[in-house]
Amino acid sequence: MDNTKLNIVMFTNTYTPHVGGVARSVEAFARQYRKLGHRVLIVAPEFSRMPKDETDVLRIPALQQFNGSDFSVVLPVSGLLSDRLDQFQPHIIHSHHPFLLGMTALRIARFRNLPLVFTHHTLYEQYTHYVPGDSPAMQNFAIELATHYCNLADQVFAPSQSIAELLQQRGVTTATSVVPTGVDVARFASGNGRRLRKALNISDKTFVVGHLGRLAEEKNLPFLATSVAEFISRYQAGSDGAYGRHDHHRPKCCFLLVGTGPAEETVAGIFQRLGLGAQLVRVGNLKLDQVADAYHAMDVFAFASKSETQGMVISEAMASGVPVVALDASGVRELVVDQQNGRLLHNECCADFAAALQWVAEQPALNRLALSDRKSVV
């Protein structure tokens, strides 16, 4: 069985060039499956600025970024899909969402009598604000939909132990395995932070708090921005008794924000209102070969999302040797060990988050080096 080569069809509502955890996960797994000798066909919506000449990717016409979300509403699937599947001869159907193309995946698995694997990437109840008429009832519906879909699958992949336990609590009875998306440690370990700092005119002496990801409401960005701004204000002043003695030689500090999304202007507005507009450095989306440089340009990675199923950007930051300050949540607590590779905060309090950033900043050199140990992601 170990030598069996499989034809795997992946159905996903998000894919390149879209930036997001699911798209990156699908891309990573497809790449590794192919390295092992399996064939992979990815069925995904059309997006603007799609890569040209994609190999084994079937694009389905779709309405783009429904209501400001990451999802595209797929138009009725044509006979092109059936013809392509007849040609591909799949052994396994792997769905990455419980709706839209996920429902197509379910129908095809049943019609062709094939096993259906489902990866529960997302806490969908955290995303109902993208749907008109958002309400607690809508959130409960999202939970019930995903749970029911899990129980229609033959195998469920949970990206973290937290999510596996949550699915069991919600009544998922299908066999569930914890299968996180891996991180290419070697690629992230080789970034050049000085190069990016130079391009952005950030001094080597500047203490950089960084964040990378999709800038959306469900990522808890107002809390993060307020916390980081409070840290920067107090750190640069250097005179608050809670943060130690006044020090005129502190390097200046900035917030390096990588990514785009509907909450970007919210973050900028918070920094402007607090008189810290110059300390916010926005670089938008970076090319893949620049992402490792961005992590290496950071002194600490700040993360406040409570909607994750796995902390991919946290793993990438750690692989880059950057300590993390984050809120305790699913997909995060598996990675961040308090005071070993960063700080894990159990209370959502801006002052506590700012103090944790300060704790990292004031660690002696050897302690900071220990916090940056990459072994935690290997």
Q: Are 143 and 124 in contact (CB under 8 A)?
A: yes
Which are the contacts of 271, defined by CB distance < 8 A and separation ≥ 6?
A: 225, 229, 255, 277, 279, 280
Q: Concatenate the DSSP letters of all residues of 309-329 into one string.
A: SS-HHHHHHHHTT--EEEE--
Tell me: the pLDDT tens digits for 41-51?
999 988 877 88
Residues 234 and 352 in one domain: yes
Tell me: the pLDDT tens digits for 240-287?
433 344 455 556 899 999 999 899 999 999 999 999 999 999 999 998
Report CA 331 to chain centroid distance, whole Å.
10
Please give the backbone phi and psi of residue 184, each rounded to the nearest 5 degrees, phi first: -75, 90
Residue type, 227: S
Q: C-alpha angle with apex 355: 351 to 359, nearest 5 degrees?
A: 175
* Domain end (from 124, 152, 178): 178
Residues 45 and 95 in one domain: yes
Q: The tokens of 284 are what?
A: 């938008």
What's residue 378's pLDDT? 47
What's residue 69's pLDDT? 55
Q: Are 303 and 215 in contact (CB under 8 A)?
A: no
Q: Are 216 and 235 in contact (CB under 8 A)?
A: no
What's residue 68's pLDDT? 55
Closest CA to 89 of 6, 4, 1, 2: 6
Residues 153 and 222 in one domain: no
Residues 143 and 43 in one domain: yes
CA atoms within 13 A on the CB side of 63: 8
Residues 226 and 119 in one domain: no
Q: Is residue 215, in this structure, part of any structural domain at all?
A: yes
Domain count across the chain: 2
Q: Are 66 and 130 in contact (CB under 8 A)?
A: yes
What's residue 241's pLDDT? 38
Residue with tokens 């990451």: 70
Q: Is residue 2, in this structure, part of any structural domain at all?
A: no
| pTM, rounded to two decimals | 0.82
Domain that holds residue 101: 7-178
Residues 66 and 201 in one domain: no
Q: Are 238 and 247 in contact (CB under 8 A)?
A: yes
Residues 169 and 243 in one domain: no
CATH code for the domain of 136: 3.40.50.2000
Residues 209 and 353 in one domain: yes
* Domain end (from 145, 178, 211): 178
Please give the backbone phi and psi of residue 100, each rounded to the nearest 5 degrees, phi first: 50, -115
What's residue 78's pLDDT? 65
Which segments within the chain are labelled E, that is strand?
A: 7-11, 39-45, 57-60, 62-63, 73-74, 92-95, 116-119, 155-158, 176-178, 207-212, 253-258, 280-284, 300-303, 324-327, 342-345
Percent of the chain past pLDDT 70, that is, above it, reads 89
For the chain, list residues with pLDDT below 50: 1, 239-246, 378
Residues 195 and 58 in one domain: no
* Domain end (from 149, 178, 207): 178
